[in-house]
Amino acid sequence: MRIVLVGPPGAGKGTQAAFLAKNLSIPHISTGDLFRANISQGTALGVEAKGYMDRGELVPDEVTIGMAKDRMEQSDAEGGFLLDGFPRNVSQAEALDVMLKAAGMKLDAVLDLEVEEDEVVKRIAGRRICRNDSSHVFHVSYAAPKTEGVCDKCGGELYQRGDDTEDTVRNRLDVYHTQTEPIIDYYKAQGLVVTISALGEVNEITQRAMDALQK
């Protein structure tokens, strides 16, 4: 299957993408991974992207599209892929359609993870991360540490990331509504959108997504 995963920040796209890709035996292609791989390998696109990032500028669509094209042409993606974070806007969605058509392929589905804005804010603004190990993540409401501000696993100090504050989260949601949400209408016009609730346990959401995709 060839799937695009969309949803607001805090919808759990990364977590669901990993589970779905494993269940469907297709590679999970995320924008973050594309950038990290190209920059660490020193590819021409990676060098170009790093130049923009170092200047604090947005990486142009054509650079992101080029990275995605290179990745989708790799042998492990011949039988399908799950795109997470790409396309990010309508122009990228149009470019993806052109790429797939040229390769004699098409998307099977666009999975839209739906979650209310207040829940997104609660999820992200409540996160607390250990200064000693960023993989030690807690949540003031859903997974509180035994002692406030102290990591259960190593005793390190827990802190709130600067981009996890309520104001920052609401700004990120505004960007999502302006730039990314329009691709849902773009794909609805092609009859590709499958919307599911992103509320509940991780495995419940994965099963919900699998059921919707199989239909």
What are the catalytic residues? 13, 88, 127, 161, 172
Three-state SS string over 62-105 comes to HHHHHHHHHHHCCHHHCCCEEEECCCCCHHHHHHHHHHHHHCCC
Residue 73 CB neighbour total at 10 angstroms = 11
DSSP code of 147?
B
Containing H/E element for 50? helix 44-54
Classified as helix, coil or strand, 181 is coil
Q: Which of 173, 146, 125 is nearest to 8 (CA)?
A: 173
Q: Please tell me the distance from the alpha carbon of residue 133 to that of residue 117, in angstroms, as a whole number.
A: 29
